Amino acid sequence: MATDYDAPRRDEVDLGEDSLEELKARRVDSQSGAVDVDEAEVAESFELPGADLADEELTVKVLPMQQDEFRCGRCFLVHHRSQLAVERNGELICRECV
């Protein structure tokens, strides 16, 4: 149960005076009839200005691996030769994966 720490404190005498019916009535009154809203559903209806990329065609020019590059045997990313850390059993490994 949530506690309101900003509310004024009550004496033990005041606490003993509450009847069971009063406590039940307060609990029923404090309960909300509102249904929780799913944040994902709300986010779907929200549209950012200029965010419509449906008609855009994205093109990327892919270059073949250059002479001064290598493919890491662990992360499979292409790195510059300066990132080469070790070569184990013919497998080139970059500095990030060592």
CB atoms within 10 A of CB 97: 16
Residue 97 lies in a domain: yes
Number of structural domains the chain divides into: 1
Residue 86 lies in a domain: yes
Mean pLDDT of the chain: 80
User: Which of 13-27, 31-45, 49-63: highest mean pLDDT?
Assistant: 49-63
- Residue 72's domain spans which residues? 65-98
User: For the whole model, what pTM was predicted?
Assistant: 0.41
For residue 15, pLDDT over 60 is answered with no
- Around 64, how many Cα atoms within 13 Å sit in the side-chain half-sphere? 1
In 3D space, the residue among 66, 90, 70, 73 whose CA is nearest the CA of residue 81 turns out to be 70
Res 13: pLDDT: 54
Residue 85 lies in a domain: yes
- What mean pLDDT do residues 3-13 have? 71
For residue 98, which amino acid is it? V
State how far the Cα of 51 lies from the Cα of 70, in Å rounded to an integer: 37
For residue 96, pLDDT over 70 is answered with yes
- What are 23's two structure tokens? 């406590």
Residue 88 lies in a domain: yes
State how far the Cα of 88 lies from the Cα of 32, in Å rounded to an integer: 65
State how far the Cα of 90 lies from the Cα of 2, in Å rounded to an integer: 63
For residue 49, pLDDT over 90 is answered with no
In the three-class reduction of DSSP (H, G, I as helix; E, B as strand; rest coil), residue 46 is classed as coil
Res 28: pLDDT: 64
Q: Is the dihedral of CA 32, 35, 38, 41 positive or negative?
A: negative
